[in-house]
Structure 1
Amino acid sequence: MSAQAEQLIAKSCTPCRGGIPPLKPDEAETHRHQTPDWALLDDAHRIERRFAFDSFADAFKFVQRVAELAETEGHHPDITFGWGYATISLQTHKINGLHENDFILAAKIDQTAMTEH
């Protein structure tokens, strides 16, 4: 794990009440370099990553751990999963775009994935 990702992991998501602008595309790209396995999508309004697993049970166990992490951080991703995969999409809905919180949670999800394999 990179030092940049470790810096994100050390942070906690902060409540977003709206009223702030989302990250601009260049700012989002700078943050994305800290979580390089995530794709920047929808004109830099969300990030997404697909994780591969050996079974449905493994994917489900990972999704459960991500759900617990999301509850702890107070920041909730969109998750789809099935046999051997889980896809996680992050954005801050209150600002209709990306916030540093999305990248903090992405780095923590990556860390969770590393402990799953």
Structure 2
Amino acid sequence: MSGFGEQYCEACNADAPRATDAEKQALSKEITGWDILEVDGEEQLRKKFKFKNFVEALAFTNKVGELAEAEGHHPAILVEYGKATVSWWTHTIGGLHKNDFIMAARTDSAYR
């Protein structure tokens, strides 16, 4: 796990600022293969992970769930046969925060 992925999420409330374009650009360099998408007016990080079967995808999902629960920061996860799609964003601010990039890096580490 890189130093970035070893960081922990900071407490975030509804008044926390969203990541600026410059911050998103810099933080995106710390993660690979994640797309920034706008969904229902909110920016999200999204990545698809491939597996041999449903059981492996589900096991990965459970690892991500444990990471999320430990941080109190939860993604949307779609589990399908042979893949899992993970989306991170900060619900309370309706967009991206540094926490989302940290959790994306930690998700990548769980995939290895």
Task: Tell me the residue number matched to 2:44.
Answer: 46
Taking the aligned partners of 1:107 and 1:51, their CA distance within structure 2 comes to 13
Over the aligned positions, Cα root-mean-square deviation in angstroms equals: 1.5
How big is the shift at 1:73? Answer: 1.3
Taking the aligned partners of 2:3 and 2:95, their CA distance within structure 1 comes to 22
- Name whichever structure is richer in helix by fraction: 1
Unaligned runs of 5+ in 1: none
Identity of aligned residues (%): 36
Deviations 1:55-106 (A, max 9, x none): 0000001001110110011110000011000000010011111111001111
Taking the aligned partners of 1:10 and 1:113, their CA distance within structure 2 comes to 15
2:44 partner letter: R
How big is the shift at 1:19? Answer: 0.3
Cα pair 2:43 2:94 within 8 Å, conserved:
yes
Task: Tell me the residue number matched to 2:10.
Answer: 14
| Correspondent of 2:57 among 50, 56, 59 | 59
| Correspondent of 1:28 among 16, 24, 27 | 24
How big is the shift at 1:47? Answer: 0.6
Q: How many correspondences in the alignment?
A: 110
Taking the aligned partners of 2:43 and 2:26, their CA distance within structure 1 comes to 14
- TM-score scaled by length of structure 1: 0.87
Q: In structure 2, the residue corresponding to 1:93 is in which secondary structure?
A: coil
Task: Tell me the residue number matched to 1:99.
Answer: 97
Point out the more displaced range, 36-45 or 90-99: 36-45
Taking the aligned partners of 2:46 and 2:25, their CA distance within structure 1 comes to 13
Taking the aligned partners of 1:110 and 1:10, their CA distance within structure 2 comes to 12
Cα pair 2:48 2:83 within 8 Å, conserved:
yes
